[in-house]
Amino acid sequence: MSRMGRFITIEGPEGSGKTTVLEAVVKRLSRDYDVVATREPGGVETAEKIRQILLNGDSMDGRTEALLFAAARREHLVAKVLPALAKGQLVICDRFIDSSLAYQGYAREIGVKGVQTINDFAIEGRYPDLTLYLDIPAAVGRERIERNQREQNRLDKESMLFHERVIEGYQHIIKQDPTRFAVIDASQPIEAVVDASVKAILKQLAD
């Protein structure tokens, strides 16, 4: 790995298995790389406090939600991600800017350009080197959440139409920047999803 680290993000709709995949990928890659696992919103104290408001609070205005996500992202980036990258570490993050574009820009329909603008201000051009997109239909994701009896947050409880719009949003984002994404079929058994994820990351590290 080069002196500057690499920034990998994992994206996908609810129930796609992002957290499970991240944990397994980090465990495997940590044998050979200095890996930092993190998440959004959260990752550092201030951003974790914003996370509680966003995921466990009452309903809120769509633009307020987008601004809070961007604020949490900025704090997380400067306090955790950038310092780790400067040390040459491999940072793997559960969600980043693409979540805001898909959830707030497309699904909330508050305007993709506006969400893009506030997030560009927050990240100052520091996009991921690679984004893994765990591809799964909204209905399958919802079924997984209910089957696993996972505690549902405010976004989990949105309508099926909302989650379908999230997926459409991701599809638009991927079409606009296809070289940054590795699309992985997340309907496969978890072992296959992890294998495909590790393979995509190792390919990025080899470039």
The pLDDT value recorded for residue 1 is: 41
pLDDT in tens, 35-74: 999 999 999 999 999 999 988 877 899 999 999 999 999 9
Domains assigned to the chain:
6-206 (3.40.50.300)
If pLDDT is split at 50, 70 and 90, which confidence band does 207 have? confident
Residue (of 4, 189, 194) closest to 90 by Cα position: 4
The pLDDT value recorded for residue 153 is: 57
Q: Give the largest Cα separation in the chain, rounded.
A: 45
Residue (of 47, 22, 56) closest to 36 by Cα position: 22
d(CA 163, CA 175) in angstroms, rounded, equals 19
If pLDDT is split at 50, 70 and 90, which confidence band does 2 have? very low
pLDDT in tens, 73-123: 999 999 999 999 999 999 999 999 999 999 999 999 999 999 999 999 999
pLDDT in tens, 180-202: 999 999 999 999 999 999 999 99
